[in-house]
């Protein structure tokens, strides 16, 4: 199969290289952002007179059809086409002919994938913010219910002074408020549009980046094309936020594990949020809290992996940056699941 980048090559890519090089198994979850970004790009190309208006209309209609197919489960993702961008563009050209090939005008996969990741980040940050607020509300509800419930406060895990359970819960509420503030910073870092940077130094076509940014609801555009295609600070910021949030959730989880033990006996877990033993029927295990505590290290690992990947890369794009996605996606899923199960 012909590659989008295959112009100078005389041999087909080795199948093992195709498999090792491909990212479609995990970046296919960017399909909505990829297609939405392409629709905005095609509209801009047509309005600026870079491609015929008729081709722009065909491209946009074809992309909408492909989006419907993917959402209906009627789209085959091909590893030989490497990533979500090439899978979509190949299918588009197959359906609408040469007009489909014009979609890649004034665009590189470098700025395209950066656009997808920025858009995906913004969508996920909004969903995480909602879950975080709901969990904060849950803590406030518990605190209100236990304004006069006394318990021992601890230092060095030794009983220190009497406190209320409400006071203890509000300590976690305050931690989450700081986490929410950090999440707002993540949003700000993601709210910059990289499209138009091309592979490294922009394009000679008379594009309108600000038109696309407005269409895609970005607050601003990157002022430097080299930074636009190589920046992964916003992902590192998200993973840093996620690590801090999970650290707070892990601390709470540790206390739940302690409090629900026979030795402490402060709380009893709801049957719907605990598990038992196949051998010892008297047990009620705090598996959810233990899993949150365990998954925290996994999120830490994603942060360290991303920092390590980025630390030695010269400008601009290097294939190493393909490694930004799997850990990022997993951290999103872990954070969302944790907040959902606790709220």
Q: pTM of the predicted model, to two decimals?
A: 0.92
How many of the other CB atoms lie within 10 Å of CB of 147? 10
Higher pLDDT, 79 or 21: 79
How many of the other CB atoms lie within 10 Å of CB of 289? 25
Comparing 54-58, 150-154, 189-193, 316-320, which segment has the lowest mean pLDDT? 316-320
From the list 313, 335, 333, 177, the residue with the least C-alpha distance to 249 is 335
Query: Phi and psi of 15, rounded to 5°?
Result: -60, -35
Comparing 13-17, 34-38, 160-164, 205-209, which segment has the lowest mean pLDDT? 13-17
Cβ partners under 8 Å of residue 171, min gap 6: none
Residue 168 CA to residue 290 CA, distance in Å, equals 20
Q: H-helix or E-strand containing 158?
A: strand 158-164
- In tens, the pLDDT along 178-217 reads 999 999 999 999 999 999 999 999 999 999 999 999 999 9
Cβ partners under 8 Å of residue 231, min gap 6: 114, 194, 222
Residue 90 in this model has a pLDDT that exceeds 90: yes
Per-residue model confidence (pLDDT) at position 277: 84
Residue 241 in this model has a pLDDT that exceeds 90: yes
- In tens, the pLDDT along 92-139 reads 999 999 999 999 999 999 999 999 999 999 999 999 999 999 999 999
Structurally, at CATH architecture level, domain 15-105 sits in: Orthogonal Bundle (1.10)
The one catalytic residue in 10, 76, 156, 278 is 156
Report the C-alpha dihedral over residues 137, 235, 220, 45, rounded to 10 degrees.
-120
Catalytic annotation present for 156: yes
Per-residue model confidence (pLDDT) at position 247: 98
Q: H-helix or E-strand containing 9?
A: none
How is 277-322 classified by DSSP, letter by letter? -SS-TT--B-HHHHHHHHHHHHHHHHHHHHHHHHTTPPSS--GGGG
Catalytic annotation present for 277: yes
Per-residue model confidence (pLDDT) at position 261: 94
Asked if 108 contacts 198 with a C-beta cutoff of 8 angstroms, the reply is yes
Per-residue model confidence (pLDDT) at position 5: 45
Residue 102, classified by CB atoms within 10 Å of its CB into exposed (0-12), middle (13-18) or buried (19+), is buried
Asked if 87 contacts 77 with a C-beta cutoff of 8 angstroms, the reply is yes
Please provide the CATH number assigned to the domain covering 110-198+223-342.
1.20.200.10
How many of the other CB atoms lie within 10 Å of CB of 337? 14
Q: H-helix or E-strand containing 154?
A: strand 150-155
Q: Rounded to 5 degrees, what angle do the CA atoms 295, 232, 189 make?
A: 90
Per-residue model confidence (pLDDT) at position 9: 54
The residue behind tokens 């540790």 is: 254
For the chain, residues classed under CATH 1.20.200.10 are: 110-198+223-342
- Distances in whole angstroms, Cα of residue 245 to Cα of each of 1, 129, 181: 45, 12, 11
Strand partners, 285: 275
- Distances in whole angstroms, Cα of residue 200 to Cα of each of 58, 105, 156, 164: 29, 15, 54, 58
Residue 286 CA to residue 256 CA, distance in Å, equals 8
For the chain, residues classed under CATH 1.10.275.10 are: 15-105
Residue 341 in this model has a pLDDT that exceeds 90: yes
Asked if 260 contacts 267 with a C-beta cutoff of 8 angstroms, the reply is yes
The residue behind tokens 């890369």 is: 313
């Amino acid at each position: 199969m012909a590659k989008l980048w295959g112009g100078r090559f005389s041999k087909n890519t080795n199948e093992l290289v195709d498999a090792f090089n491909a990212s479609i198994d995990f970046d296919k979850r960017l399909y909505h952002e990829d297609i939405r970004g392409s629709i905005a790009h095609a509209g801009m190309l047509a309005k600026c007179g870079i491609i015929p208006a008729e081709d722009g209309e065909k491209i946009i209609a074809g992309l909408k059809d492909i989006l419907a197919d993917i959402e209906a489960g009627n789209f085959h993702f091909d590893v030989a086409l490497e990533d979500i961008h090439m899978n979509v563009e190949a299918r588009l050209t197959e359906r609408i002919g040469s007009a489909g090939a014009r979609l890649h005008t004034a665009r590189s996969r470098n700025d395209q994938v950066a656009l997808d990741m920025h858009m995906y980040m913004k969508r996920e940050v909004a969903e995480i913010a909602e879950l975080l607020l709901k969990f904060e509300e849950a803590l406030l509800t518990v605190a209100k219910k236990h304004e006069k419930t006394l318990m021992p406060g601890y230092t060095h895990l030794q009983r220190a002074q009497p406190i209320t359970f409400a006071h203890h819960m509000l300590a976690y509420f305050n931690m989450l408020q700081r986490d929410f503030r950090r999440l707002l910073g993540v949003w700000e870092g993601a709210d910059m549009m990289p499209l138009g940077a091309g592979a490294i130094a922009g394009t000679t076509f008379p594009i309108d980046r600000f038109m696309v940014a407005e269409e895609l609801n970005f607050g601003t555009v990157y002022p430097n094309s080299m930074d636009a295609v190589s920046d992964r600070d916003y992902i590192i910021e998200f993973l840093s936020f996620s690590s801090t949030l999970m650290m707070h959730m892990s601390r709470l989880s540790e206390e739940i594990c302690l409090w629900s033990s026979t030795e402490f006996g402060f709380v009893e877990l709801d049957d719907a949020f605990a598990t038992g033993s196949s051998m010892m029927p008297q047990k009620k295990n705090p598996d959810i809290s233990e899993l949150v505590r365990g998954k925290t290290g996994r999120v830490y690992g994603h942060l360290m992996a991303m920092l390590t990947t980025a630390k030695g890369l010269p400008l601009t794009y290097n294939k190493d940056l393909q490694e930004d996605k799997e850990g990022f996606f997993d951290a999103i899923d872990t954070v969302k699941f944790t907040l959902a199960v606790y709220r």
